[in-house]
A = this chain, B = another copy of it.
Amino acid sequence: MREVYIIGLGMTRFGELWAQSLRDLFAEAALGAIKDSTMVHIDSVYIGAMSPGLFVGQEHIASLMSDYAGFNGVPATHIESACASGGLAFRQAYIEVASGLSDVVMAGGVEKMNDGADATYALASAADQEYEAFHGVTFPGLYAMMARAHMHHHGTTREQLAEVAVKNHLHGTKNPRAQFKMTVSIDQVINATPVAEPLGLLDCSPVTDGAAAVILATKEIAQKSGKPLVKVKASAHATDQIALHSRKDLSSLPAVGTAAQKAYKEANIKPEDLDLIEIHDCFTIAELIVMEELQVVKRGQSGPAVSAGFSRFDGQLPINISGGLKSKGHPVGATGVAQIIEIVEQLRNEAGERQIANARLGMAQNMGGSGGSCVIHILEGES
C-alpha cells in the first residue's frame, strides 16, 4: 500500500447555523479544502454523516453534497458509524489512495442537527434501538452509567469529571471556530442543571451544525502541493457491542483499546511518543476512559492525571487543544474530520494561538455511540 498525505483542510465554524442548510455547510468546507490544497481535480469523495435522514429527511447525501460542491459525476460515498462517521470516512479515503485506485480523494463530514428534528431521538439511534433507545435510555444516561462504574471501580470523583470540561473550555477559548468559547469553573460544572447524574449540562457536548473536509493524496502530489508534509502514519478501526448490557465492564471501552493497539503497532510508536491527541469527549467521562484505553495513563489514573494538568495545553500531553467536542461543538458526522484538521494544523505549525511547540506526532480518536465503534488515526508532520 502507498503512503498517504493530507494536503488540504476546510471547515465551517461550529454552532447553531440557522442560515445554512446541510448542503451549504458541506459545500463551504469542501471548497475550503479544495482552495487550501490548490488541487483542481479530485478522484472521489467520502462523506461521513450520522443521520441526515432523521435530522433533515435527506439520504443519498454523497451524490447531493458532491454535486452541490461542484464535483458532479465523481464517485461519492456516504459512510455512517454514528459519531465515528467522519473518522471512518477519512479511513475509507485513506484506503482508496493507499490502494492505488485514486490519487486525490476528499474526506468530509457534515451534520445539520439544529433544523427542527428531535436531536435526542436521532442521536439515540446510535444506541441499540430495541434494547436501549426504545426503553428510554438516551446517551447522557448511558454515559452516566459508565461514569458511575468508573467512580465505583477507580474512585474517580465528580471534580475530576468536571476538570475535563474546565480544561476543554479553556482550550476552546483560543479556537475561532468553537461553538462555546467561554471558560467554565469546577463549581459551574458541578452545579449545572443535572442531565443524568452524575453528568450535568456542562459534562455533555452540545448539539451543533457544521462540516469539515480534508484532501488526501499520494506523496508525489503532496510534495508538489507546497504544503508542509503531513503523513497518515496509521489508520485503525474496531467495533464492540453497541448495547452496554452486552459488555463485561462499563468502565472500559474495548473498541478504543483494540483500535489503539493496532494503531501503535502500525505506526511503530509508543503512547509516550505522541505530542498531542484529539479525544472524542462527547461526555466528560468519555475523555477519562479513552485516556486509559490509549494507555497514556494507567487504568484508573485518568481522573488524577487531568486534575494534575497532565492534558492541558502546557501539560505533559495536550489533549483536545481544539476545545474538543465539549467546547468546539459536536456536529456528529463532522467531528472525526474536524479532529484530523486540528492535528494537521498543529503539525503544520499553523494553529495560531493554540499552537503546541514542536508537535510532530498527533492522534485523532473518534468514537461511535457508547463505544460501539472507534477509529483512530496517527498523523506525522515531516517538515
A67-90 contact mask (Cβ, 8 Å, vs B): 1 or 0: 100001111111111100000100
Question: A59 is contacted by which of B73, B80, B239, B240 (Cβ under 8 Å)?
Answer: B80
Q: Which of A6-14, A31-39, A125-133, A275-283 contacts B (4 or more CB under 8 A)?
A: A125-133
Number of A positions contacting B (CB below 8 A): 64
CA distance A44 to B81 in the complex (A): 14
Q: With A58-B125, A133-B57 known to touch, is A240 a contact of B81 (CB < 8 Å)?
A: no
Contacts of A44 in B (CB 8 A): 237
Q: Let me know if B88 and A239 touch, CB within 8 A.
A: no
Name A89's closest neighbour in chain B (CB-CB): B77
Chain B proximity mask over A236-274: 1 for CB below 8 Å, otherwise 0? 011111100010000000110010000000000000000
A58 proximity list for chain B (CB < 8 A): 125, 128-130
A81 touches B62 (CB 8 A): yes
From B53, B62, B98, B368, contact of A60 by CB (8 A): B368
**Is A95 in contact with B99, judged by CB distance below 8 angstroms?**
yes
Which secondary structure dominates where chain A touches chain B?
mixed
A100 at the interface (CB under 8 A from B): yes
Which of B62, B246, B372 makes the CB contact (< 8 A) with A239? Answer: B62
Tell me if A201 counts as interface (CB < 8 A to partner B): no
Tell whether, in the assembled complex, residue B82 and residue A88 are in contact, meaning their CB atoms are under 8 Å apart.
no
If A54-B59, A59-B82, A246-B67 touch, whether A76 touches B239 (CB-CB below 8 Å) is yes
Given that A77-B92, A79-B77, A95-B95 are contacting pairs, would A63 and B125 also be in contact in the complex, using a CB cutoff of 8 Å?
A: no
A101 part of interface (Cβ distance < 8 Å): yes
**B239–A63 CB distance below 8 A:** yes
Q: Is the CB of A73 within 8 A of B240?
A: yes
Annotate A199-239 by CB proximity to B: 1 below 8 A, 0 otherwise: 00000000000000000000000000000000000000111
Given the complex, which residues of B lie within 8 Å of A372, measured CB to CB? Answer: 60, 63-64, 67
Interface presence of A320 (CB below 8 A): no
Q: A interface vs B, CB < 8 Å? A: 1, 21, 23, 44, 50-54, 56-64, 66-67, 72-82, 88, 92, 95-96, 98-101, 121-122, 124-130, 133-134, 237-242, 246, 254-255, 258, 368-369, 372-373
